[in-house]
């Protein structure tokens, strides 16, 4: 495992190992499996960042489920624009279904608030959020109510395990913080 990686003009230091990541994924999968034991939820995986987390998560749940994808964006480089762009809407019929949004990271919360409200407009039975990582100090949406959180992180820009810097670094199996 590398202690440091360089992506373009930035250097990142190892922050969370693959082992710690997969333990967080397991915790989320167990909680979801218990909560949805008698349901068949639709996991709405947010592209591109949550593809690795979503894949590992759905392999670990032990309940029937379906998978859908959406793509929204609000980042340029290492900072948010606070303008959410929906690039790929959910096309499945979610009316009356239990929805679990699967996200890689929640920091300001604006993207998740937007997506949750958007999905709720289609009248599902429920909409919950499952995120691998959450930055509570940075969240600006007080009533977001994230039900499943793999790990809480301090303020730092991170890459790896699906997270990127200028579309690079997603393939790293560990998570690295900008130094």
Sheet arrangement for strand 158-159: 4-7, 10-16, 175-178, 158-159
pLDDT, one tens digit per residue, over 31-49 is 999 999 999 999 999 999 9
Residue 157 pLDDT more than 60? yes
At 83 the pLDDT is: 75
Give dist(CA 166, CA 45) in Å, integer.
20
Q: pLDDT tens for residues 52-90?
A: 999 999 999 999 999 999 999 875 555 555 678 888 889
Backbone φ and ψ for 132, nearest 5 degrees, come out as -65, -45
pTM, full prediction = 0.92
Instruction: Point out the residues that are catalytic.
Output: 107
Mean pLDDT of 102-116: 94
């Amino acid at each position: 495992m590398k202690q440091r990686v360089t992506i373009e003009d930035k250097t990142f230091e190892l922050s969370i190992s693959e082992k710690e990541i997969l333990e967080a994924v397991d915790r989320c999968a167990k909680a979801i499996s218990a909560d949805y034991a008698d349901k068949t939820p639709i996991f709405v995986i947010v592209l591109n960042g949550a593809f690795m987390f979503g894949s590992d998560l759905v392999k670990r749940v032990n309940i029937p489920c379906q998978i859908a994808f959406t793509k929204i964006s609000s980042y340029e480089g290492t900072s948010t624009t606070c303008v959410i762009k929906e690039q790929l809407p959910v096309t499945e019929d979610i009316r009356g279904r239990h929805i679990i949004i699967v996200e890689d990271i929640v920091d300001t919360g604006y993207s998740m608030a937007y997506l949750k409200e958007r999905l709720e407009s289609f009248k599902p039975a429920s909409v919950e959020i499952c995120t691998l990582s959450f930055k509570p100090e940075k969240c600006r949406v007080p009533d977001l109510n994230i039900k499943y959180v793999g790990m809480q992180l301090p303020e730092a820009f991170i890459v790896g395990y699906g997270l990127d810097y200028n579309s690079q670094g997603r393939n790293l199996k560990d998570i690295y913080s900008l130094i």
